[in-house]
Amino acid sequence: MDFERRAQLHNEFWERKNGRHLLGFYPGDYFISRRFLAAKPLLVKGKLIQTEEIDAVRYLSDYERMYKEALTIGGDLFYTPEPMPGIPWLEAMSGFPVHGSVSSIYASETERLDAGTIVCPEWLDKYKEFLAMLTLNGEGKYICGQPIVRGPADLLGTGIGQQQLIYEMTDHPERVKKNLEGFMNLLVYILELSVHGEMFGGHAMGFYHLWCPGKCAWFQDDLTAIMSPGLYKEFLYDIHKNLAKSAPYTMMHLHMTSSYIIDYLLEIDDLNAIQVNKDIGESVETMLPVLKKIRETKNLVLWGDFSPDEVKKLISELEPQGVYIIVFGASQAA
């Protein structure tokens, strides 16, 4: 794998000068936790998970396996491991109970909501343990990045319940804004902490394996899907503007169910890219008008279990400059 060549391609992507669409293949189980053999003891329905059950070193063989897989796969992904991405790290640090299921690890509502405070420092220590291990092991081979970390609204909705979040926005708006700001500050701290190592003068976004010419971060708030445009503008627009300033290269993750906020995001000058998921059952055809609109102003990263015909459709309909298509799962073999 010629990482230097891939870094150059990604640099052209950020400059919107790439002459072809960037294309990456991300193999493995759709459920991220099941890609880690070391996580198998945690994937038990209803299991309450403690940090003592997680030894970062035991995951090293999984990372090495994935690295070797990446060396054999074509495409433009810049291999970027991250602290075990199936763990809801910020929820755990915030004191939310963390449970296992047969396919994933999730957080549940908490009796103590102290937004922005690291209630359980042992989870922060465990996160740092993964970062240190990956940094040491990856020297000369790869750089690590951030895993999936939920946004302020996602964290608050998990902590108090999604339905209750909407009620709180109406009944106690100032309290909601204070909590969202607290979670935003915690998120920024973790995003900055996660920029570990440097390669070819840049860093990389974990999960999307996207190299950047400088420090970088990506963020999300999937619960925008249950809000009205008015609630989004009042409670989250300024939060997302601040998150877009948290690094020189920033990207926001979206599902099509939250596509109504795209007009707001396109107004944020500091936001470099928008990442859109193709979810199960969605049609590329119906997504295209939104994707074209994003690409006119921002860089566009697509992620999904795209079929070969869908990839061909995207390539034929979208101009290549600033477009990166990631094929996840079984389709990469087609």
The pLDDT tens digits along the chain (334 residues) read 588 999 999 999 999 999 999 999 988 888 899 999 999 999 999 999 999 999 999 999 999 999 999 888 889 999 999 999 999 999 999 999 999 999 999 999 998 899 999 999 999 999 999 999 999 999 989 999 999 999 999 999 999 999 999 999 999 999 999 999 999 999 999 999 999 889 999 999 999 999 999 999 999 999 999 999 999 999 999 999 999 999 999 999 999 999 999 999 999 999 999 999 999 889 999 999 999 999 999 999 999 999 999 999 999 999 999 999 999 875 333 3
**Strands 323-328 and 22-26, sheet pairing:** parallel
Give pTM, 2 decimals.
Answer: 0.95
pLDDT score for 63: 96
pLDDT score, position 1:
58
For residue 263, which of 290, 300, 286, 223 has the smallest C-alpha distance? 290
Which pLDDT belongs to residue 280? 84
CB 46 within 8 A of CB 99: yes
pLDDT of residue 332: 38
* CB 176 within 8 Å of CB 156: yes
CATH 3.20.20.210 correct for 3-333: yes
**Is residue 290 left, alpha or beta, with left meaning phi > 0 and alpha meaning psi from -120 to 50?**
alpha
Q: What strand order describes the sheet that includes 323-328?
A: 22-26, 323-328, 299-304, 273-278, 249-255, 216-220
Residue pair 104/88 in contact (Cβ under 8 Å)? The answer is no
CB atoms within 10 A of CB 109: 14
